[in-house]
A = this chain, B = another copy of it.
Amino acid sequence: MPGHHSARSRRTTERKGDVRERAILDTCEALLAHKGYDAMTVGDIAQGAGITRGALYFYFGSKQEVVTALVARTVEHLWERSRVTAQTDEPRQAIAAAMQRTVELWNEHGPVMRTAIDLSLTVPEIGELWKHTADLFIAAITAVLERAGVQAGAAPDQASAMARALCWMIERTFYHASQESREKLQEASATCEHIWLTSAGLIT
Protein backbone atom coordinates (compact mmCIF):
# COMPACT_ATOMS: atom_id res chain seq x y z
CA MET A 1 0.00 0.00 0.00
CA PRO A 2 1.11 3.57 -0.75
CA GLY A 3 3.10 4.90 2.18
CA HIS A 4 2.93 8.61 1.65
CA HIS A 5 4.71 9.42 4.87
CA SER A 6 4.80 13.16 4.22
CA ALA A 7 2.39 15.53 5.90
CA ARG A 8 -0.76 13.55 5.38
CA SER A 9 -2.91 13.56 8.46
CA ARG A 10 -1.90 14.56 11.94
CA ARG A 11 -2.41 11.02 13.18
CA THR A 12 -1.24 8.14 11.04
CA THR A 13 -2.97 5.25 12.81
CA GLU A 14 -6.26 5.32 14.58
CA ARG A 15 -5.95 4.94 18.33
CA LYS A 16 -7.68 1.91 19.75
CA GLY A 17 -9.53 4.22 22.05
CA ASP A 18 -11.05 6.06 19.11
CA VAL A 19 -12.77 2.88 18.02
CA ARG A 20 -14.02 2.23 21.53
CA GLU A 21 -15.28 5.75 21.87
CA ARG A 22 -17.29 5.37 18.69
CA ALA A 23 -18.59 2.03 19.92
CA ILE A 24 -19.73 3.68 23.14
CA LEU A 25 -21.55 6.43 21.30
CA ASP A 26 -23.15 3.97 18.89
CA THR A 27 -24.30 1.77 21.75
CA CYS A 28 -25.66 4.80 23.54
CA GLU A 29 -27.67 5.80 20.49
CA ALA A 30 -29.06 2.30 20.16
CA LEU A 31 -30.00 2.16 23.83
CA LEU A 32 -31.66 5.56 23.72
CA ALA A 33 -33.76 4.27 20.85
CA HIS A 34 -35.33 1.40 22.74
CA LYS A 35 -34.90 2.04 26.45
CA GLY A 36 -34.89 5.79 26.79
CA TYR A 37 -32.51 7.93 28.80
CA ASP A 38 -33.73 7.15 32.30
CA ALA A 39 -33.84 3.41 31.92
CA MET A 40 -30.41 3.35 30.28
CA THR A 41 -27.67 2.70 32.82
CA VAL A 42 -23.96 3.30 32.32
CA GLY A 43 -23.50 -0.40 32.95
CA ASP A 44 -25.71 -1.05 29.93
CA ILE A 45 -23.65 1.25 27.75
CA ALA A 46 -20.38 -0.30 28.88
CA GLN A 47 -21.67 -3.80 28.31
CA GLY A 48 -22.91 -2.91 24.85
CA ALA A 49 -19.51 -1.49 24.01
CA GLY A 50 -17.74 -4.59 25.31
CA ILE A 51 -16.08 -3.10 28.38
CA THR A 52 -16.83 -2.68 32.07
CA ARG A 53 -18.22 0.37 33.80
CA GLY A 54 -14.84 1.25 35.17
CA ALA A 55 -13.30 1.33 31.72
CA LEU A 56 -16.05 3.54 30.39
CA TYR A 57 -15.23 6.17 32.94
CA PHE A 58 -11.82 6.40 31.30
CA TYR A 59 -13.55 7.85 28.24
CA PHE A 60 -16.37 9.86 29.75
CA GLY A 61 -16.78 11.37 33.17
CA SER A 62 -20.47 10.57 33.48
CA LYS A 63 -23.58 9.30 31.79
CA GLN A 64 -24.48 12.86 30.90
CA GLU A 65 -21.12 13.38 29.25
CA VAL A 66 -21.70 10.35 27.06
CA VAL A 67 -25.00 11.60 25.73
CA THR A 68 -23.65 15.12 25.44
CA ALA A 69 -20.94 13.77 23.15
CA LEU A 70 -23.56 11.85 21.19
CA VAL A 71 -25.71 14.92 20.78
CA ALA A 72 -22.65 16.92 19.72
CA ARG A 73 -21.80 14.32 17.09
CA THR A 74 -25.33 14.32 15.70
CA VAL A 75 -25.71 18.05 15.74
CA GLU A 76 -22.37 18.62 14.03
CA HIS A 77 -23.50 16.28 11.32
CA LEU A 78 -26.58 18.48 10.98
CA TRP A 79 -24.55 21.69 10.78
CA GLU A 80 -22.34 20.11 8.18
CA ARG A 81 -25.30 19.18 6.08
CA SER A 82 -26.96 22.59 6.19
CA ARG A 83 -23.65 24.32 5.41
CA VAL A 84 -23.20 22.22 2.31
CA THR A 85 -26.75 22.49 1.01
CA ALA A 86 -26.94 24.98 -1.81
CA GLN A 87 -28.92 28.06 -0.87
CA THR A 88 -31.64 28.79 -3.33
CA ASP A 89 -33.13 32.24 -3.65
CA GLU A 90 -36.63 31.09 -4.44
CA PRO A 91 -38.53 30.97 -1.11
CA ARG A 92 -40.80 28.10 -2.08
CA GLN A 93 -37.88 25.94 -3.06
CA ALA A 94 -35.88 26.92 0.00
CA ILE A 95 -38.74 25.93 2.28
CA ALA A 96 -39.31 22.59 0.58
CA ALA A 97 -35.60 21.78 0.70
CA ALA A 98 -35.28 22.69 4.38
CA MET A 99 -38.24 20.54 5.34
CA GLN A 100 -36.93 17.61 3.36
CA ARG A 101 -33.54 17.76 5.05
CA THR A 102 -35.21 17.97 8.42
CA VAL A 103 -37.35 14.93 7.75
CA GLU A 104 -34.28 12.93 6.82
CA LEU A 105 -32.43 13.99 9.94
CA TRP A 106 -35.28 12.99 12.21
CA ASN A 107 -35.74 9.70 10.41
CA GLU A 108 -32.11 8.85 10.97
CA HIS A 109 -31.60 10.21 14.46
CA GLY A 110 -35.03 10.72 16.00
CA PRO A 111 -34.22 9.24 19.41
CA VAL A 112 -31.09 11.35 19.79
CA MET A 113 -32.95 14.49 18.77
CA ARG A 114 -35.71 13.80 21.25
CA THR A 115 -33.25 13.10 24.03
CA ALA A 116 -31.37 16.30 23.25
CA ILE A 117 -34.59 18.25 23.60
CA ASP A 118 -35.55 16.49 26.81
CA LEU A 119 -32.19 17.15 28.43
CA SER A 120 -31.79 20.73 27.25
CA LEU A 121 -33.05 21.98 30.57
CA THR A 122 -31.09 19.75 32.91
CA VAL A 123 -27.79 19.45 31.05
CA PRO A 124 -26.46 22.95 30.30
CA GLU A 125 -23.99 21.66 27.69
CA ILE A 126 -26.78 20.08 25.69
CA GLY A 127 -28.92 23.16 26.17
CA GLU A 128 -26.19 25.23 24.53
CA LEU A 129 -25.79 22.84 21.64
CA TRP A 130 -29.50 22.80 20.99
CA LYS A 131 -29.91 26.54 21.40
CA HIS A 132 -27.20 27.12 18.83
CA THR A 133 -28.86 24.73 16.41
CA ALA A 134 -32.20 26.42 16.89
CA ASP A 135 -30.62 29.82 16.28
CA LEU A 136 -29.25 28.65 12.96
CA PHE A 137 -32.66 27.39 12.02
CA ILE A 138 -34.40 30.57 13.12
CA ALA A 139 -31.97 32.70 11.15
CA ALA A 140 -32.66 30.63 8.05
CA ILE A 141 -36.42 30.89 8.47
CA THR A 142 -36.15 34.62 9.08
CA ALA A 143 -34.21 35.06 5.86
CA VAL A 144 -36.81 33.17 3.87
CA LEU A 145 -39.69 35.12 5.38
CA GLU A 146 -38.04 38.41 4.60
CA ARG A 147 -37.27 37.41 1.05
CA ALA A 148 -40.93 36.47 0.70
CA GLY A 149 -41.95 39.95 1.69
CA VAL A 150 -42.55 39.75 5.44
CA GLN A 151 -41.38 42.89 7.14
CA ALA A 152 -38.05 42.59 8.96
CA GLY A 153 -38.01 43.28 12.68
CA ALA A 154 -38.66 41.74 16.07
CA ALA A 155 -42.24 42.82 16.68
CA PRO A 156 -44.76 39.97 17.08
CA ASP A 157 -45.94 40.20 13.48
CA GLN A 158 -42.50 40.62 11.93
CA ALA A 159 -40.06 38.12 10.53
CA SER A 160 -37.81 37.39 13.48
CA ALA A 161 -40.48 36.63 16.06
CA MET A 162 -42.52 34.63 13.59
CA ALA A 163 -39.49 32.59 12.62
CA ARG A 164 -38.91 31.67 16.26
CA ALA A 165 -42.47 30.46 16.70
CA LEU A 166 -42.33 28.51 13.44
CA CYS A 167 -39.08 26.90 14.54
CA TRP A 168 -40.64 25.66 17.77
CA MET A 169 -43.68 24.47 15.86
CA ILE A 170 -41.48 22.36 13.62
CA GLU A 171 -39.37 21.05 16.50
CA ARG A 172 -42.34 19.97 18.56
CA THR A 173 -44.35 18.59 15.69
CA PHE A 174 -41.43 16.49 14.53
CA TYR A 175 -40.69 15.43 18.09
CA HIS A 176 -44.11 13.86 18.36
CA ALA A 177 -44.46 12.58 14.82
CA SER A 178 -41.06 10.87 14.88
CA GLN A 179 -42.30 8.71 17.72
CA GLU A 180 -45.10 7.41 15.57
CA SER A 181 -43.87 6.45 12.12
CA ARG A 182 -42.16 7.69 9.00
CA GLU A 183 -45.54 8.30 7.40
CA LYS A 184 -46.65 10.52 10.25
CA LEU A 185 -43.40 12.41 10.01
CA GLN A 186 -43.95 13.02 6.33
CA GLU A 187 -47.47 14.26 6.95
CA ALA A 188 -46.33 16.44 9.80
CA SER A 189 -43.72 17.91 7.53
CA ALA A 190 -46.33 18.76 4.92
CA THR A 191 -48.47 20.47 7.52
CA CYS A 192 -45.60 22.55 8.85
CA GLU A 193 -44.61 23.48 5.34
CA HIS A 194 -48.13 24.65 4.63
CA ILE A 195 -48.27 26.85 7.70
CA TRP A 196 -44.83 28.23 6.94
CA LEU A 197 -45.90 29.10 3.39
CA THR A 198 -49.09 30.69 4.65
CA SER A 199 -47.21 32.76 7.22
CA ALA A 200 -44.86 33.91 4.47
CA GLY A 201 -47.82 35.06 2.44
CA LEU A 202 -47.06 32.59 -0.32
CA ILE A 203 -50.46 30.94 -0.10
CA THR A 204 -53.50 33.10 -0.42
Q: Which residues of A contact B (CB under 8 A)?
A: 36-38, 114, 118, 121-122, 156-157, 161-162, 164-166, 168-169, 171-173, 175-176, 187-188, 190-195, 198-199
Contact = CB atoms under 8 A, between A and B. Distances in A.
A176 B131 CA distance: 11
Contacts of A195: 162, 165-166, 195, 199
B169 A176 contact: no
A184 to B, nearest CB: 10
Copies in the complex: 2
Contact of A171 (B36, B114, B157, B172): B172
A38 B192 CA distance: 33
Given A118-B121, A165-B173, A191 B38 contact: no
